[in-house]
Amino acid sequence: MAYDNHIKFKKIVLNYMELGEKKLFKKSLKEISVNKKVFFYYSRRKNIPICALPTIKLILSSRQGFLSFCFNFYNFTDNINTNIPISKSSIKSIAKIVVAHEVGHILDPNIANTKTEYTNILSNIIDKLIEYNIDINDSKFHKKNLPIELDQCVLNLKKNLILRECDAWDIAESILTFENEGEKLIFDKIKEYALATYNYGNIKTIISDHNLDLFFKYRRYFA
């Protein structure tokens, strides 16, 4: 399996290099017709997952981040028995689709409100951890009977993220022109893969992913 994964990743890298790497993203962005100026930053050395900063209309990406996304996506499609071969054509479509998704965030008129709500939910999670004196240093704290209010915060956070991402995917689909049914299939499967990852996790992973332990310790010290 490790050998197969090595061959798979090497094939992705070679096809990506032939497509011009950064040039592929710039071309993908140029082909998307929008009324706003969108900026793009690409790093060959840093590991930056493709993402958007809507306030300044900036899309961030990196060589390692995109290659990892492609590798995980191809594994996902293999696991659900969907035949999407590793090729220049499919990698080109993946780049085009993920760029359109990030543009979708930039064009989303509700993005500021949903992000504010997301931040408020994170703050509520910290407050509940303090209120119920939950020891997050206990490696198994998330497996214990947690307060209903804390469970609800986790559900609200996931709901907020999924709704925000669904809006971005809807906008992406509206601004894309698919070359063929194969490219539309790739879009549908990337969306399916992405939404599955957004719903993953629990209170422990949320604390880790957002570095909430730092805020938790700070608030508790001055409480």
Q: What is the pLDDT along the chain (223 residues), one digit of tens a residue?
A: 555 888 999 999 999 999 999 999 999 999 887 888 999 999 999 999 999 999 999 999 999 999 999 999 999 999 999 989 999 999 999 999 999 999 999 999 999 999 999 999 999 998 898 888 888 888 888 888 889 999 999 999 999 999 999 999 999 999 999 999 999 999 999 999 999 888 777 898 998 888 887 776 665 555 5
Contact between residue 59 and residue 99 where contact means Cβ atoms under 8 Å apart:
yes
Alpha-carbon Rg for the chain, nearest whole angstrom, is 20
Domain spans in the chain, listed from the N-terminal domain onward: 2-88, 111-222
Structure tokens belonging to residue 174:
């509206």
3-state secondary structure of 51: strand
CA distances from 38 to 20, 56, 99, 112, 208 (A): 20, 8, 11, 17, 31
pTM recorded for the entire structure: 0.89
